[in-house]
Amino acid sequence: MVSRAAGRYFETYRGGEWSRHLIKGFDIGSSIPNHWPGELAISRNTYSEWFKQIRETNANTILVYTQMMPWFYEALDEFNRGNPGGELWLLQQAWPEEFEERFDLYETERADEYRAEITNCVDALAGNADIPRRKGRAWGKYRADVMPYTLGILVGREVIFQEASITNGTHPDRTSHQGRFVMTTAPANALETWCAEMADRAASYAYDEYGWAVPVGFASWPTLDPLGHPTEFTPGGVKANEPDDSQTLDPRHIGPGPDSIAGMFATYQVYPYYPEFMYREPEYASYTDEEGVLRYGGYLREFMAIHPDYPAVIGEVGLSTSIGIAHENPDGLTHGGMTEEEQGSGTARMIRAINREGYAGSFIFAWQDEWAKKNWVTYPYMVPYDRHVYWHNLMDPEQNFGLLAMEPDHVPFEGKKVMWRAPGGGGSGEGIQALYMDHDAAFLYLELEFTEGGAKAFKPGGDADRELLIGIGTLGPDHGTRRLPAEGLPRLPGGVEYLFRAKAGEARLQVRPDYSKATSRFSAAPSDEPVFEDEVYLVNRAQVSLQDGTYFPPITTNASILNYGVFMTSSPRYNSTATWYVSGDSVRLRLPWTKLNISDPSSLQALLDNRKLEPGPAIIQSTRMGSLRTTTTKGVTTFAALAEGGVAAGFAPSSGAEFDQEVGPYKWKGWEFAPYEGRLKRSHEEIKELFRTLDQP
């Protein structure tokens, strides 16, 4: 036995003595760009490099969600043998398969498969497994024994409402498990009994087969906590059917069994913005730290007050550096939309609260960005869905939680294409000298070059009367509008669906009403009307408190508003959420592909669906992943204009008094592999210092 649960904390055995082990860790996902998690495509060399980087961040533990390929354990064993006193401890999770519409966890075939998976995980940890090749799961010859570095074995995952409800409803008689190492300590429901049974199996097998006493635990999340949350109620609904506050997994019903030596623990995925009760319960607002109100800490304190006397670990905590936002939070800890510096400071703030409230530590989600992830706000628009690992969606928060950015191996504008240049150094653009375009697996890039001093009007504090308009078309001349909203501009030679407009440091990317995610219309009919709207969509649902009737209105986000800032990673002023800025005599833009309804840049697909679809979030229920219709884009056309007080002051590409019709669209070739590189985000230094100074409780 090298690790054990001792009260609310872990202890580890090194140098002949036991010492407290406060978890300072990272979750490591199983995917890299161009690959799905089930492919387990990360190489041994990559793991070796990651372990070195993780340890240099002053972390001491890693968590993996599923059994990994043999070389993961080989690399960990090699790293730890070479770093005595600076080892990385492992928390190994055995992942229960997710089945669409097969929600009963006790279903015979499903339960048997999971028991076998627990056995495989323990065998892999002990370096004693020969697993035939199988789809979506790790396989191979396991010979590296990492039991000496195993902090614990974790069963289960964040069980969803349907699984909990159907498992409990189908098996009302499963109310207890009197296990050797884990047991139910009070009348339990079927989900709690299932967790106890599976954790007991892991501990029993490790002990009986290999002679190891290992802490075992179960995974859960706030949607299943036993606390009552009056604010978690949908108007017109039924509380018993509320997905995020009707089913429970009560840790007070699960405890160590009579033969337990190493003890048990539990992990919880706790984020500040979901479920909505995390910030809507009024008593949470009374929790403060050195920076002010921190509702997240209010929840942590309330939950810890009812937790049994064994370690409670925050298995996931973190913030995303995506450009898109999926949930708002009144304390500024939003689901997406965070700069790298905000990711670091916000995550550190939450971890300090976790430590303050007596948790056994935490794992930052996640070590690396994962292109294979999805989020409810974005996944309907990634079509074909089975290709979205070939490109990086910066509008999706789930893809951008990593401390290690996984980015296209491309320097923006380095290979830019000249789309138009003013003849003889002049032109009717009144300062617009050239248009350039570029792209990679994450963005479409656009640069407008002006005569000397012409671009500074668009900087923050610039000329508020001078406006830059750029029409952007992705569907060809038979779609979109042929006019931009400035008096005196000639008709466009082709249609556009989007309008970028900027002045004095403020910018928006507006969209045609019939091509907007806000309205779930994707036809972009031909028109001569210069009508463009902001794209505003729901991120937090409406709810009402059953306690006092307080109504919480829905919260929307305006995805059309663009952040100003330098987006070149080489710049000390780099802003990960920025999409435009002025550089010398140029205005530069980078637009995430899904902002332009490019549903798959790797196969040149753009949304084009004439059906009448349900508006807003209802599209998620009315369409399955990948079911929106698309067309192959022939390229992207751009038309730029300057306006003074709403009156045209110039345009490009120009040809006399008209737009130049000879300038074709920007085209690119599809791809089956996107070159990428890793880069430690600027949050890295904040987390490194946090882990260095985080006190043992």
Which one-letter amino acid corresponds to residue 691? F
Q: How far is CA 47 from the centre of its chain?
A: 21
Average pLDDT over residues 116-136: 97
Which of 157, 116, 152, 155 is closest to 137 using CA atoms?
116
Alpha-carbon distance of 143 to 126, in angstroms, equals 8
Q: State residue 618's pLDDT score.
A: 53
End-to-end CA gap in the chain: 23
3-state secondary structure of 356: helix
Q: State residue 555's pLDDT score.
A: 93
pLDDT at 21 over 60: yes
Which CATH superfamily is 22-407+677-693 part of? Answer: Glycosidases (3.20.20.80)
**Beta carbons of 429 and 604 less than 8 angstroms apart:** no
Average pLDDT over residues 271-291: 97
Average pLDDT over residues 339-347: 98
Which of 550, 554, 546, 549 is closest to 240 using CA atoms?
546
β-pair type (216-220, 150-155): parallel
β-pair type (432-439, 443-450): antiparallel
b or e along 621-644 (b: 16 or more beta carbons within 10 Å of the residue's beta carbon)?
eebeebebebbebbebbbbbbbbe
**Beta carbons of 203 and 125 less than 8 angstroms apart:** no
Q: State residue 75's pLDDT score.
A: 98
Q: Tell me the pLDDT tens digit for each residue of 24-58.
A: 999 999 999 999 999 999 999 999 999 999 999 99
Q: State percent of the chain over pLDDT 90.
A: 90
3-state secondary structure of 562: strand
Alpha-carbon distance of 283 to 50, in angstroms, equals 41
Alpha-carbon distance of 227 to 571, in angstroms, equals 47
**Beta carbons of 470 and 484 less than 8 angstroms apart:** no
pLDDT at 460 over 70: yes
Instruction: Give, as one character, the DSSP assignment of residue 433.
Output: E
Bridge partners of residue 506, in order along the sequence: 503
Q: State both tokens at 14.
A: 């090194």
More confident of the two residues 670 and 244: 670
Average pLDDT over residues 84-88: 95
Give the length of the chain.
697
Q: Helix 340-356 vs helix 295-304: angle between axes, to the nearest 10 degrees?
A: 30
Average pLDDT over residues 316-331: 97
Q: State residue 241's pLDDT score.
A: 83
3-state secondary structure of 106: coil
Q: Tell me the pLDDT tens digit for each residue of 406-439.
A: 999 999 999 999 999 998 755 445 689 999 999 9
Average pLDDT over residues 371-400: 95
pLDDT band at residue 450 using 50, 70 and 90 as cut-offs = very high
**Beta carbons of 305 and 350 less than 8 angstroms apart:** no
**H or E segment at 264?**
strand 264-269
Bridge partners of residue 589, in order along the sequence: 446, 580
Domain extents in the chain:
22-407+677-693, 413-530+559-669
b or e along 179-194 (b: 16 or more beta carbons within 10 Å of the residue's beta carbon)?
bebbbbbeebbbbbbb
β-pair type (89-94, 150-155): parallel
pLDDT band at residue 239 using 50, 70 and 90 as cut-offs = confident
Alpha-carbon distance of 590 to 583, in angstroms, equals 13
pLDDT at 514 over 90: yes
CB atoms within 10 A of CB 132: 6
Bridge partners of residue 676, in order along the sequence: 408
Q: State residue 240's pLDDT score.
A: 83
Contacts with 626 (C-beta within 8 Å, 6 or more apart), sequence order: 382, 383, 384, 385, 386
Q: State residue 238's pLDDT score.
A: 87
β-pair type (361-364, 312-317): parallel
Which of 400, 410, 417, 480 is closest to 443 using CA atoms?
410
pLDDT at 113 over 70: yes
pLDDT at 617 over 80: no
Q: State residue 100's pLDDT score.
A: 76
**Beta carbons of 114 and 125 less than 8 angstroms apart:** no
Q: Helix 108-125 vs helix 70-81: angle between axes, to the nearest 10 degrees?
A: 30
| Mean of the per-residue pLDDT values of the chain | 95
pLDDT at 622 over 70: no
Which one-letter amino acid corresponds to residue 284? Y
More confident of the two residues 618 and 152: 152
pLDDT at 301 over 80: yes
Alpha-carbon distance of 369 to 406, in angstroms, equals 6
pLDDT band at residue 185 using 50, 70 and 90 as cut-offs = confident
More confident of the two residues 132 and 616: 132
Alpha-carbon distance of 273 to 377, in angstroms, equals 15
pLDDT at 252 over 90: yes
pLDDT at 274 over 70: yes
